[in-house]
Chains A and B, each alone.
Chain A
Amino acid sequence: MNKSLNDCTIAGPFQHAAAPFAATVFSLFYQFSTLGLKIASSGDQAADEMFSFAFKTPHTAPVNCVVTGWGGCNHAGMATENMIQAACGLMSVHGRSSGKIQSLGLPYVSTVTAALALQGGIAAALGQLRGLALSHSHVSMSAAALLSAAQYIADATVVTPAENLPPAEARHSTAPPFVSADGVIFEFETLHADPWLRFWMQLGISAALAGKGWTAFLLRYAKAVAPIPGELISALAKLTYLQISELCADSGLSICRVRTIAERVDNEQFKSEWLKGPWTFDFAASCQDMPLKPASDSLPLSGLTVIESCRRIQGPLAGHLLALLGADVIRIEPPGGDPLRGMPPVSQGCSVRFDALNRFKAIREIDIKSSVGQEEITELARHADVFLHNWAPGKAAQLNLDYSDLIRVNPALVYAYAAGWATDGDAHVRSPAMPGTDFMVQAYSGVAQKISQACGTQGGTLFTILDVLGGVIAAQGITAALLNRQLSRAGARVTSSLLSAATVLCSGDFQNRHRFFDIAVPAKSLLNQVFGTKQGKIAIDCYDSDAVQRLIDALSLAMHPKQENFQQRLSEILQSKTAVEWVGILLQADVPAAIVVENLSNLHSDSRLQSNLELGSYTKVTSPWSFQ
């Protein structure tokens, strides 16, 4: 059974959201439908600058969940998906690999915002059941965007001198994905240098040149760029995809074709996964004598203990979000500590990219491969509320730390797996040889193809969007399982994955094809573009024809948007003033526009973002939630 919260109700004007919130509300509708909530759509007209809904369990008062565009005290001002992407630096990070600053072309911030808003409501209800008087939860789109970029912001704002990989020539045209002689676009992945070297040696590439390629390849995760030497790209372009695949198999390099979203939405298995939602829940038997822990401070998950054994981004971010909700997170690291603590740049003895996701956790160094270590972890799980891991498929069983092992010692445990590919056990693991990393899942899921279509590039983004969304979805599933535990006195296993997060991000495509849920897919923006100005860039996001007309009036364009030289004329006019001047004029005219932040170290100068940024040895992104 997948429905964890089918006795709970959600109420709001879901069919009447203002245009800037339509994508958030659509994703919210999809997410709470797949959680099994009862939906009460009201006929109220939603406000323009916020959206709110009420979340209620049979045993709690309603939690009023408010979503605004911007954070801060008054939350004022119009905000759209692409304004937020521009103002919070997402366009800038996404544009690094292609050299062109632009929108991701996906409702990414809206989707993250929806997941955080729903999680906030669920957490507040759980807080009520644990003795807190929480009746309001607030999250903003800008807070969701900043959370998504937290590691990049840390990297860009560290005050100690930067440590970088050796410089690689920035040639935007050579960033992955790659293209074969027969025109197939694909991604490579390996976490080790050896398969990479073996692969290129088979193509007659020198070890030195393959090494330059490896250095560029490593830059993907840290810097969102990958200037692969042109010689490597040219060598691939002489071979067919089949030939390249065979060489990959021989060398141990993983390969994944960039698939179209149509391939997924038309596939029955993926359709059923979409209908099921991003989580797989398996509930344990109810045990009525389960002790219920009261909250220990004002945050909803305070007094609960999470044991986390995760590496890299997705799993640690899930643990970080639970810590921001008040949980005590104990992070298991190998003896000597996680090597990524040394990942540059470093400040005060720790990688700031690492610190951005792990700074609120207590650390226990345990050798999980030893029987003593496994016993120690089992003992920790005996007294914990959540056990969270993101190990490779099958590893939990090898370590004697699978769900069946830990539920035996703690039937009330929420056992969470933040996977790469699978959502329901090992049945749908694509291939153990295909690492479930962000860029492979973007390629496989159709996300890369959607981004390429919107951006005019070959593939997805080197911004780790699925790692972040996957972490948010994992934390959301854990919070839902904790609420279910409080309501029904049953522990659970909850599994989510990067692929299931990609499905959430593409739920509009599935809905357009299958029309299963009772909500319309929001229309795409009519004019969503970044323009150069006399100084700086601006993003304009006209979501409907009225907004386009207001833009035309504000610029005295006296043209129809379908006229041949409309774009050119628009670009010319916008060159006449600075971005700051234009944004003032356009917002005054009610045209959605924002200055594109090109340098993440400038984010804190925007007063609308300051409540979610904390200056220090590097700029930290604070909790996206506030509760009352």
Chain B
Amino acid sequence: MSITVIIPTILRPLTNEQKRIDMEGAKVSEIIDHMEQQYPGIKEKLVAGESAHRFINIYVNDNDIRFQDGLATNLRDGDIVTILPAVAGG
């Protein structure tokens, strides 16, 4: 299953400055594991324990994975995974 992953600017130093990368995987966690193999160091920026970092948002086709099955969210061929650092104020 081919999935497109959109990388935020802040993480592009880890992906050779690539904004979009194509990955294989049936779940978000698999995509992240495959990314880690190709771009070492990226997983620790995205994942803490069994879930995404509090300050990282991961979307599958514009849907936040926190409101699906988290890192176990299933993917379908052609899905777009967008990674975005959080925004905050207060």
B88 touches A438 (CB 8 A): no
B64 beta carbon closer than 8 Å to chain A: yes
B25: which A residues are within 8 A, CB to CB? none
Which of B8, B59, B66 contacts A342 (CB under 8 A)?
Answer: B8
B57 beta carbon closer than 8 Å to chain A: yes
Which of B9, B10, B57, B89 contacts A312 (CB under 8 A)?
Answer: B89
Which of A193, A222, A311 contacts B66 (CB under 8 A)?
Answer: A193
The answer to whether A193 and B89 touch (CB under 8 A), given A163-B84, A166-B59, is no
| SS class, residues of chain B in contact with chain A | mixed
Q: Please, how many angstroms separate the alpha-carbon atoms of A349 and B11 in the complex?
A: 9
A342: which B residues are within 8 A, CB to CB? 8-11, 55, 85
B86 touches A208 (CB 8 A): no
The answer to whether A211 and B64 touch (CB under 8 A), given A166-B59, A221-B87, is yes
Q: Can you show 15 pairs from A to B with CB atoms below 8 A apart?
A: A163-B84, A165-B84, A166-B59, A166-B62, A166-B82, A211-B64, A211-B68, A212-B63, A218-B57, A218-B86, A313-B89, A339-B54, A342-B8, A343-B86, A351-B85
The answer to whether A346 and B54 touch (CB under 8 A), given A166-B59, A166-B82, A214-B64, is no
Q: Please, how many angstroms separate the alpha-carbon atoms of A314 and B90 in the complex?
A: 7
B68: which A residues are within 8 A, CB to CB? 207-208, 211
B63 touches A208 (CB 8 A): yes
Q: Please, how many angstroms separate the alpha-carbon atoms of A163 and B20 in the complex?
A: 13
B89 touches A467 (CB 8 A): yes
A-B contact count (CB 8 A): 103
Q: Please, how many angstroms separate the alpha-carbon atoms of A501 and B87 in the complex?
A: 24
A197: which B residues are within 8 A, CB to CB? 66-67
B11: which A residues are within 8 A, CB to CB? 342
B10 touches A346 (CB 8 A): yes
Binding site for B on A (CB under 8 A): 160, 163, 165-167, 191-194, 197, 207-208, 210-212, 214-215, 218-222, 311-314, 339-347, 349, 351, 353, 420, 435-438, 464, 467
Binding site for A on B (CB under 8 A): 8-11, 13, 53-57, 59, 62-64, 66-68, 82, 84-90
B8 touches A163 (CB 8 A): yes
A222: which B residues are within 8 A, CB to CB? 87, 89
Q: 18 extra interchain contacts, Cβ-Cβ under 8 A, other than A342-B8, A349-B10, A464-B90?
A: A163-B84, A166-B82, A191-B90, A193-B64, A207-B68, A210-B67, A211-B63, A211-B64, A211-B67, A214-B64, A220-B89, A221-B87, A313-B90, A314-B90, A339-B53, A340-B55, A340-B88, A343-B85
Which of A191, A212, A345 contacts B88 (CB under 8 A)?
Answer: A191
B66 touches A346 (CB 8 A): no
Q: Smallest Cβ distance from B41 to chain A, in angstroms?
A: 11
